[in-house]
Amino acid sequence: MPGLPEGGHYIVVDASSSHYVALDASSGHYIVVDASSSHYVALDASSGHYVVLDASSGHYVALDASSGHYVVLDASSSHYVALDASSGHYVVLDASSGHYVALDASSGHYVVLDAPFGHYVILDAPFGHYIIPFGLFLVVFVSPSNLLDFVTLCLDVVISFLGHLLSSDPTGSISASVDPHTSASASVDPSTSVSVNPTLSASASVEPTPSLSTSLSASGNPSASTLVDPSASAATSVEPSASVSVSATVSGDPTSSASSSASASVNPSPSTSVSVAPSVSASSSVEPSASASASVSVSVEPTPSASAAVNPSASASASAFSSVNPTVSPSVSSSVSPSPSVSIVPSSTISQVPSTSASVGPISGATVQAKLLILARDEYSAESGYHGLLGYGIPFETILVPQTGIQLPSLNSTASHGLYSGIIVMDALAYDDAGIWGSALTVAQWDTIHTYQKQFNVRMVRINEYPGPDFGVAISGSGGCCGAGVEQLMSLSDVSDFPSANLKIGATVSSQGLWHYPAVVTDPLTTKVVATFAPGGDVSGETAAAVINKIDGREQFVWFSSWAPQWSLSCAYLQHAHIHWVTRGLFLGKRKTHLNAQIDDVELPTDMYYPTGTTFRLRPADLDGHVAWMADLNSRLPSGSDFRLELAHNGNGDISEVVEPNGSGGLCTPDTAVYTDDVGPDPPLEFVKPLGTGTDAWPSEWVAYNWTLTCALGDDLTAWYQNPSNRDAYAHVSHTFTHYELNNATYHDAAREIQFNQAWLQQVGIANGARFSTHGLIPPAITGLHNGDVIQAWLDNGITHVVGDNTRPLLRNGQSPYWPLISNVADNGYDGLVIIPRWATNIYYNCDTFECDVAEWIAISSGSGDYTNLLDNARATNTAYMLSLYSDPYMFHQANMRYEDMPTITIGSQTSKMSMVMAWIETIAQEVSRLTNWPITSLKHDDIAQYFLDRMALDQCEPSVSYTLSDDGTAITHVVVTAADQACSVPVPITIPSGSATAAGGSIASDQVGSEPPIQWVTLNGGAATVTLNPPISI
């Protein structure tokens, strides 16, 4: 508009209609009062439909009257004030779940004002009959005989006060002042009607999942002015008229709040003012999990009888005062006027998460159960919180909190024994209630949790929170981030508070797919940044992604990002920071980083996908190249690393190579390999074969393995293993003799496949290798796992465990991904076979070059790009598995080991000739090592199976650990290890951050690899074991 000053600091009064006055009236439709470039109040009545007050950049309180049916004021997620006047029937003011004030004027029958913890006042006026006040320290019971006198006395006091209040000069002005550096004021003569369309009401609207927070101390000094937060500073009055008001004032210690506090009072003088204190700061939240503040005093149109024991046509008021716990300081004022006007004035703030008394301290010599409590809205959110705990084996308990709330579980069983060593809160426990987001826990429940934290030195993790004063930060930029194509890389900036996590500073991971809230620290005295977002989008500088708060004797770790370690590499990585922080590096469980790569079909030739008509079979030079590469890789990985490839052998491929195409020239008798008969089409993948059915495919003449070693060594590849250093550079396992698929096989054929291959492995010396797995098998094409005849043949011949396929859910344990599947008659046809989970990869069995592999990836998996894109896809997927502590082996095939004549490529820090297996392993191993200092090791097949069996046995023992605090509460001195099954068949792993430990009542063995934290393996001897820590863990 011509003549307006620059910067948006201006006021325009627009009286384009008789219904409203507009300040900054673009198009004459709305009102804007801007007190500074970022701290402003906006009242928008576009089309006369609504009013909005914005208290800071993006942190606002909204009052929406779009339908004219109701008014809602929300100042925190569950600690809110709501005035609903739909059809003019009732008004409700709620200051917290259970700590509320409710005024119901439906038919004028009753009014109820309820304050926290049963300290409340009830005014029930169906006929003006009685008032019963309950005080914090005094309860007054009014008998029927003196009830009316008591009511009359109370109302006389109230009406007298209201009369004083209403004696102000009706022609007085209304003004607003803000920070003196950027101020704006408006004075409107009440004789000139400043009004909103009388058909409208006002309602508050807040963006999804706000978690609003500050605190207030309010008093009723009639000579005082109203002091509010500078981020919500304005006064707008509409049709000042006599009103019927009911107010509740709650007093408390303003210094006990974790956030800014304000003092509010009523000034009955002719000139009502709103003064802003520049040193006081608070904010309102608008995005999910927000933390902010604001509150408004609203006057709405009631029904004619909306009064509390007073004549609704008279100018009168009733007030109730309640003193409450100083840690909860809600206060709100509401007036109900017979005039069709709405007055909107920022007046106070309401606290969502109260501070707890600083006098609460640690309990001397307390004991705490080493178990984490996870509070979440739903199962997926809970899984996001416990995903990392499962990998470690850390005990936890999940409680789902519905929108209607819950009764908290007991946090301690006695005054000195806590039941949880840490608490993880997901998504602020916030819900959307008709556009208003709030926590499903009450103020009192949050206070209970915080008190428990301080008494037992228990830490809290909050995931997916909105920056705000409760966390010592504010939002940076315009709000959350980021849309598609906008990146803000995440990294850890300070790991000193969780050194046992063994993570690297500055290693960036992507935030793509994770909506998040860049934050800036506003309270450095209580707040420490431990993870950051890099610049991106509308944010030009580095911002906080996570902080650690130390507030009033308790600690919390807060992530300002959504969370999904189930699929996100970034979350799978970063979760280790808060897991080690919340446990202080002391927990029941362990971390082992296994990279197990199995090469199927060794000795067999493979037909290639591309070029068609070609085959590939491994050569000794290819094996040599991988031996040298493994040694080099281990030298570059963190200390303690020991990566090895495992070769899965098919002995018939050796014999075939010697006798084909024209015989062995006398080396072999018989001078032929085994060729199975065609017995019909393959059955469906998950076909469950009836026992005793099927047709033998092995010709009847093959009864025993009769080839000589001379015959077997006629193949250069087999001869290569005769050098023990060559052989022992790899791990080895059986893959059956011919690779005959076994879904419909007979017992006869399955037994021959095992027996012949065992004989060949023994003959050529592979079975004598340092890393040979005697009892393991990789089934051909992962078949036979629903064939009871095959499983029985395996077990009868010493094969007790095999690998499965994670792309087939029926082959995974449904109870835990860290357990093996044990076969049973109903699903598998036979009991007792151990099936280990195994990952497929995007390195295909029938490709020996990236040209072939990329072509197949695009054709069958919707891939796009070149081999760098393919490997990046592998990095994102499989590094996340590694960081989730899965030990499942990975599937490759012999053609993928083509090395000798491959071109030079660059993978990360390495430029050299590489096979596809090398390139894939380099991609994953380099990524894990870029992010962590974890040593990477490989297990042979038998050891993988035992690792899974031990984890299942441990979990089924139901072990538990409790720790004891020193008398002064400053250290953890020892832990007690026990189990539901005191005769647990496996030792219990206890991870400690550093040092050593001794045990009484059981035996102990220490296990430390590289720079990883020590694991103490505690064997129970029929009872509990006490493990003394040396040194104690400081708190």
Distance of alpha carbon 685 from alpha carbon 809, whole angstroms: 12
As beta bridge partners, residue 597 has 645, 890
624 or 163, which is more confident?
Answer: 624
CA 246 to chain centroid, in Å, comes to 43
DSSP 260-311: -EEEE----SSSEEEEE-TT-------STTB-----EEEEE---TT--SSS-
320 or 579, which is more confident?
Answer: 579
Greatest mean pLDDT range, 88-92, 344-348, 695-699: 695-699
As given in the structure block, the two tokens for residue 861 are 């998996």
Domains of the chain, residue spans = 67-346, 367-585, 597-849+890-901, 958-1034
Q: Is the previous residue joined to 482 through a cis bond, with omega within 30 degrees of 0? A: yes
DSSP 641-671: -B--EEEEE-THHHHHHHHTTT--TTS-SSS
Residues 444-499: pLDDT tens digits? Answer: 999 999 999 999 999 999 999 999 999 999 999 888 999 888 999 999 999 999 99
Greatest mean pLDDT range, 6-10, 11-15, 957-961: 957-961
Q: What's the pLDDT score for residue 359?
A: 65
Q: Is the previous residue joined to 1031 through a cis bond, with omega within 30 degrees of 0? A: yes
Evaluate whether the domain defined by 958-1034 bears CATH number 2.60.40: yes
The upper half-sphere exposure of residue 62, i.e. CA atoms within 13 Å in the direction of its Cβ, equals: 20
Residues 222-277: pLDDT tens digits? Answer: 233 333 233 333 333 333 333 323 333 333 332 333 333 333 332 323 232 323 22
Mean pLDDT for the stretch of residues 617-646: 98
Q: What's the pLDDT score for residue 194?
A: 30
As given in the structure block, the two tokens for residue 338 are 């017979």
Q: What's the pLDDT score for residue 11?
A: 34
Q: What's the pLDDT score for residue 360?
A: 78
DSSP 922-939: HHHHHHHHHHB----B--
> Do 367-585 and 958-1034 share a fold?
no
Mean pLDDT for the stretch of residues 683-709: 96
Mean pLDDT for the stretch of residues 762-786: 98
Percent above pLDDT 70 for the chain: 65
Mean pLDDT for the stretch of residues 939-959: 98
Strand, helix or coil at 556? strand
Strand, helix or coil at 536? strand
Q: Is the pLDDT of residue 600 over 50?
A: yes
Q: How confident is the model at residue 219 (pLDDT cuts 50, 70, 90)?
A: very low
Mean pLDDT for the stretch of residues 992-1012: 97
Q: Is the pLDDT of residue 797 over 50?
A: yes
Q: Is the pLDDT of residue 714 over 60?
A: yes
Q: How confident is the model at residue 19 (pLDDT cuts 50, 70, 90)?
A: very low
Q: Is the pLDDT of residue 429 over 60?
A: yes
Mean pLDDT for the stretch of residues 787-804: 98
- Reference 412, options 375, 461, 449, 447; nearest CA is 449
Q: How confident is the model at residue 576 (pLDDT cuts 50, 70, 90)?
A: very high
DSSP 760-827: HHHHTTGGGSTTEEEEEE--GGG--TTBHHHHHHHHHTT--EEE--TTSGGGS-SS-TTS-EE--HHH
Q: Is the pLDDT of residue 350 over 50?
A: no
What 8-state DSSP symbol labels residue 81?
Answer: B
Superfamily of domain 367-585: Class I glutamine amidotransferase (GATase) domain (3.40.50.880)
Residue given tokens 């809160």 in the structure block: 425
Q: Is the pLDDT of residue 668 over 60?
A: yes
- Reference 558, options 393, 730, 425, 379; nearest CA is 425
Q: Is the pLDDT of residue 333 over 80?
A: no
Q: Is the pLDDT of residue 823 over 70?
A: yes
Residues 32-74: pLDDT tens digits? Answer: 334 333 333 343 433 333 433 343 333 333 434 333 333 334 4
675 or 184, which is more confident?
Answer: 675
Q: What's the pLDDT score for residue 805?
A: 98
Q: What's the pLDDT score for residue 739?
A: 98
DSSP H helices, 480-534, are none
Q: Is the pLDDT of residue 758 over 90?
A: yes
Q: Is the pLDDT of residue 829 over 80?
A: yes
Residues comprising the chain, all counted? 1035
- Reference 302, options 238, 249, 243, 345; nearest CA is 243
Q: Judge contact between 245 and 268, C-beta under 8 A.
A: no
- The structure's pTM equals 0.70
Q: Is the pLDDT of residue 80 over 70?
A: no
End-to-end CA distance of the chain: 62
As given in the structure block, the two tokens for residue 917 are 């297996």
On average, the pLDDT of the chain sits at: 75
